[in-house]
């Protein structure tokens, strides 16, 4: 029971952006997907979500590919996109209902599940609001709530920290930790390395569509030959190398 | 809430929005200009048809092209939204059913303009094929079947993951529509109909087999297409009234850089610098001028009579000038123009200059085209356009633009 990515080559048109990617996210594991802009993080996520189909290779979620049963596959993923996308004409309450409907959950139960989350993010008195009137941070909170109420076995989270206030970041990290304890697999792409270093169990560093390095922090230190270095320092090293290439 | 009710709600909102905007579109004196244009076009067309004889080839080639173009225009109104890719992913099978229903809805809606166009084509066919007007239903049925097939392929393309193949499918269906029209218009109406029936039967069978339930929807493609479709509608409406959710996708058009430089000469005004580039790189403006200029050229070439030519020239200059007015909104969308330490009047002046220049170029083209045919009417067209452009840019524009503030 986990996410298994095996030799994925893929992209938007015929030109591959991802080249022979392989990594796993085990149960109860939080893996950070790290890379510079344009490294292929969002493309990887689109392949996992089944929004793009790989040219080669396979993606297994709980030992099933999307082609075996697309509904089941997709029901097991909670997705928080990079920029919040919400329905202009639906209220916050209706966003929770549509999520329940789409994931085949009981509406009342879902509302009950949403309650503490809404309270945590201070959205509980805004149920009748249109999220399009929210600030970017509040919209992001709505995306987080909608992903957590479905209790998926895999969370796919694309750069969640932008726009969130420090309090919300703290609460969000706590939530992630809780879910991890409960056995969920989490894949999170981010540029905020201090947060990543704090909570991720392992890292996948993408560079030009290929895996540059992967493993735990200590494994990465070995790879970069930088003992005791922080993720930030290793990342800077990668950026410098990028400079040499161009 | 179910998916069906969700999409019902969306349809209702979409229709309400469109009908609200249509009021602005249809209320304006623009309708009068369009009616005039339609009248002049119809008059020219009927004159033209009378000069044709049985078996004339060139007009039928043009008709095939026009009909193919009309059949290929119009896409499925899927009403999908960006958020669907997050919220509705697990409901793929239900969404597919709704999309298939929307194929039919779009077909019924698109059938209306197709009936008009196919009826308008009949006089030409009556003369060149020596048939009766009562054969219209046969032609109409062919056109509608081809359109249905076109939409059907569009839907299947939503299920095709390969970018190249998707394009190929769309190109093939256009070619097939053209072939169907060639049979109808050059052989006889029944051969075209038979071909269309066979196409729909064989095509639907094939598509059902290869794009069945095992294929998954290309969500991002569908959403992108729907956004493009809506933007096209909004851009059209934006010619008449301000639409808030318009997005701009500029085209770089590098080859125009030299020309833009020539046109701006040594002008140091930031307003003009910005607006002249917005005009060329934004197809809703430059494309519009191009289309109207082409239609104008055709009408001026084919319709005889000095007075009519003069009216057409001024009418088209008016249409182009009038529809370029919303370019003023470019300044509003860009908040830098509120921060720059420049004079307010620069906005209006730059638009006056741009529209004056564009209209002059178009007028020169019209007159140049007419010169190849006639000398005398060209002189009158020249004087007429001069007076119109002067009056429009110096007197009308500043007042109108100030009202928009």
| Record: contact A102-B88, CB cut-off 8 A | yes
**Interchain CB contacts (distance < 8 Å): A and B:** 70
Q: Give residue-wise pLDDT tens across range B294-347.
A: 888 988 887 778 888 898 899 899 989 988 998 888 877 666 676 676 667 788
Report yes or no for ipTM above 0.90.
Answer: no
Of A71, A94, A146, the CB nearest to B1: A94
Can you tell me the distance from the alpha carbon of A116 to that of A206, in angstroms, rounded to the nearest whole number? Answer: 36
Q: Is the pTM of this model over 0.90?
A: no
For residue A18, what are its two tokens?
Answer: 């991802």
Inform me whether the pLDDT recorded for A172 exceeds 60: yes
What is the DSSP-derived secondary structure letter of residue B82? T
Whether A81 contacts chain B with CB within 8 A: yes
Chain B hits for A81, CB-CB cut-off 8 Å, are 85-86
The pLDDT, as a whole number, for residue A133 is: 82
Confidence at residue A244, expressed as pLDDT on a 0 to 100 scale: 46
CB contact under 8 A, A75 and B81: no
Cross-chain residue pair A87–B2, CB shorter than 8 Å? no
The mean pLDDT value of chain A amounts to 89
Rounded to an integer, the average pLDDT of A87-107 is 86
Residue B43 contacts residue B35 (beta carbons within 8 Å): no
Interface touch B88/A99, C-beta < 8 Å: no
Break chain A into its structural domains and give their ranges: 1-239
pLDDT at B171: 94
Residue A152: pLDDT band (50, 70, 90) is: very high
Residues of chain B with pLDDT under 50: none
Closest CA to B389 of B401, B400, B381: B381
Chain A residues 95-154 with CB within 8 Å of chain B: 95, 97-99, 101-104, 143, 146
Q: Which fold has domain A1-239?
A: Rossmann fold (3.40.50)
Contact residues on chain A for B161, CB-CB shorter than 8 A: 52-53
pLDDT for residue A246 = 39
Distance from CA of B199 to the nearest CA of A (A): 30
| Whole-angstrom distance, CA of residue B80 vs CA of residue B124 | 40
Is the CB of B86 less than 8 angstroms away from the CB of A71?
no
Residue A26: CA count within 13 A, CB half-sphere: 8
- Put simply, the answer to whether A74 touches B219 (Cβ < 8 Å) is no
Q: Rounded to whole angstroms, what are the CA distances from A142 to A77, A93, A148, A164?
A: 17, 10, 10, 11
Tokens 């429009």 -> residue = B392
> How far, in Å, CA of A203 to CA of B225, rounded?
36
DSSP A156: E
CA distance A67 to chain B (A): 7
Closest partner residue to A98 among B6, B85, B219, by Cβ?
Answer: B6
B257 Cα to chain A: minimum distance (Å): 28
- CA–CA–CA angle B352, B355, B358 (5° rounding): 145
User: Does A85 contact B91 at a Cβ distance shorter than 8 Å?
Assistant: no
């Amino acid at each position: 029971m986990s996410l298994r990515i095996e030799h994925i080559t893929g992209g938007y048109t015929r030109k591959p952006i991802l080249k022979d990617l392989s990594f796993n996210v085990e149960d109860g594991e939080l893996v950070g997907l790290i890379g510079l802009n344009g490294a292929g993080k969002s493309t990887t996520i689109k392949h996992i979500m089944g929004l793009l189909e790989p040219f080669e290779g396979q993606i297994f979620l709980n030992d099933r590919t999307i082609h075996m049963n697309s509904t089941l596959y997709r029901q097991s993923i909670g997705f928080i996109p990079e920029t919040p996308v919400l329905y202009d004409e639906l209220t916050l309450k209706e966003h929770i209902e549509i999520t329940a409907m789409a994931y085949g959950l009981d509406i009342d139960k879902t509302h009950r599940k949403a309650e503490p989350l809404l309270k945590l993010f201070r959205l509980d008195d805004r149920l009748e609001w249109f999220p399009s009137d929210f600030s970017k941070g509040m919209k992001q909170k709505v995306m987080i709530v909608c992903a957590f109420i479905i209790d998926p076995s895999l969370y796919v989270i694309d750069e969640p920290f932008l726009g969130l206030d420090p309090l919300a970041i703290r609460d969000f990290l706590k939530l992630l930790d809780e879910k991890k304890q409960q056995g969920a697999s989490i894949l999170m792409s981010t540029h905020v390395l201090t947060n990543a270093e704090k909570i991720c169990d392992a890292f996948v560093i993408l560079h030009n569509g290929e895996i540059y390095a992967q493993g735990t922090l200590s494994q990465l230190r070995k790879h970069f030959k930088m003992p005791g270095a922080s993720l930030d320092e290793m990342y800077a090293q990668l950026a410098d190398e990028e400079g040499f290439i161009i | 809430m179910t998916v069906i009710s969700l999409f019902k709600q969306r349809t209702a909102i979409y229709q309400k929005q469109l009908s609200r905007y249509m009021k602005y579109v249809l209320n304006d004196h623009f309708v009068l200009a369009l009616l005039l244009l339609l009248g002049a076009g119809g008059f020219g067309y009927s004159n033209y048809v009378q000069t044709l004889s049985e078996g004339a080839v060139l007009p039928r080639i043009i008709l095939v092209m026009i009909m193919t173009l009309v059949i290929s225009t119009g896409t499925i109104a899927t009403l999908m939204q960006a958020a669907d890719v997050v919220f509705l992913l697990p409901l793929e099978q239900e969404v597919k059913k709704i999309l298939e229903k929307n194929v039919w809805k779009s077909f019924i809606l698109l059938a209306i303009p197709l009936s008009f166009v196919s009826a308008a084509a009949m006089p030409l066919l009556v003369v060149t094929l020596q048939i009766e007007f009562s054969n219209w239903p046969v032609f109409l049925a062919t056109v509608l079947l081809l359109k249905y097939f076109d939409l059907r392929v569009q839907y299947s393309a939503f299920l095709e993951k390969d970018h190249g193949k998707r394009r190929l499918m769309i190109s093939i269906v256009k070619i097939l529509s053209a072939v169907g029209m060639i049979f109808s218009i050059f052989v006889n109406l029944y051969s075209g109909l038979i071909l269309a029936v066979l196409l729909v039967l064989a095509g639907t069978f094939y598509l059902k087999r290869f794009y069945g339930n095992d294929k998954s929807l290309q969500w991002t493609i569908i959403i992108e297409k729907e956004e493009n479709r809506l933007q096209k509608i909004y851009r059209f409406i934006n010619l008449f009234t301000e639409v808030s959710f318009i997005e701009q996708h500029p085209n770089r058009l590098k080859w125009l850089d030299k020309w833009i430089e020539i046109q701006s000469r040594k002008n140091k005004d930031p307003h003009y610098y910005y607006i002249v580039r917005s005009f060329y790189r934004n197809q809703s403006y430059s494309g519009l001028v191009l289309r109207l200029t082409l239609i104008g050229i055709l009408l001026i070439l084919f319709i005889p009579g000095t007075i009519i030519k003069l009216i057409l020239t001024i009418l088209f200059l008016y249409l182009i000038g009038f529809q370029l007015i919303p370019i003023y909104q470019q300044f509003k969308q860009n908040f830098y123009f509120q921060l720059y330490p420049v004079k307010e009047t620069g906005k209006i002046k730059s638009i006056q200059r741009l529209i004056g220049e564009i209209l002059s170029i178009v007028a020169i083209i019209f007159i140049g085209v007419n010169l190849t045919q006639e000398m005398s009417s060209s002189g009158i067209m020249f004087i007429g356009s001069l007076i119109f452009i002067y009056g429009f840019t110096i007197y009308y524009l500043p007042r109108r633009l100030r009202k928009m503030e």
